[in-house]
Amino acid sequence: MAEIRLAIVGLGKIAHDQHLPAVAATPGISVAAVASRNATLDGVPCFLTIEALLASGVEVDAVALCTPPMGRHRLAAAALRAGKHVLLEKPPGASVAEIAPLEALARDRGLTLFATWHSRFAPAVEPARALLAEAEIRSVRVNWKEDVRHWHPGQEWIWQPGGLGVFDPGINALSIVTRILPRPLFVTEAVLEFPGNRATPIAASLRLGDAAGLEVAVEFDWRQTGPQSWDIHVDTADGALVLSGGGRHLSRDGAILHDAPEREYTEIYHRFVALIGAGASEVDLAPLVHVADAFMLGERRVVAEFHW
């Protein structure tokens, strides 16, 4: 298969920090163009909009959409109609229902649509999944708490409708939980804390369950200072498993079982290249469905205003 010529749409912090280095480290794919309102990249053609890119005649085979989720459906549809494979940053869209038409369009055009969940590619996630496949799981507790000022400095879009608020990082935890647990989950209750001056929550408490009666307790908070917490605790009949560091480390009863450097985005691009080569798509909406259900079921509480 010829090298895939990739266009990155939305050259912001996540594209600079993760996508560009990951593409550079992945055989079979390279950056051929950029479309971004606020940034350019030396050495490749740059455009202000995806429409200008697609009309330019610059040859690209695939598009990675690294924009905020609001409005991403239009960008993905434009790329698919132009015959380009599409990689969607997480979350795949601003709503659940907007993804099905993209899946249909990709299928009709024989193109790859890849809805990525980068935390699923953390090195200890698959080992945890293998251990839990046949385990007697008694309870699950998730603590995903970080400092929004550090990770999203000045990014107002996260507080706007569709920006998800604390669910922007929280959906990473849900993407791991829905991968490692053997049965589908559903939200049973939620409490969402909204700053008085913001449209999206700064903290959330969820309870999820499954058909066998398993209970999963989830705590998200964007007000964490000091050490950051990205931990999933699973109590099993064989001991207490802890998946920590956002999925980098796995231990059981304090003994390290798996610990490896982060390669999430490199693994994403290896997967994207493989999907294109196989003529396949990969779209799992479970984490986004849980977020949507939390907003639908959740009790809304107003808390102190948030200011940068």
What are the residue numbers of the active site? 90
Strands 4-9 and 203-210: unpaired
Contacts of 21 (CB under 8 A, 6+ apart): 265, 266
Element (H, E) at 295: helix 286-297
Burial class (CB in 10 A: 0-12, 13-18, 19+), 97: exposed
Please, are residues 232 and 156 in contact by the beta-carbon 8 Å criterion? no
What would the two tokens of residue 67 be? 């924009």
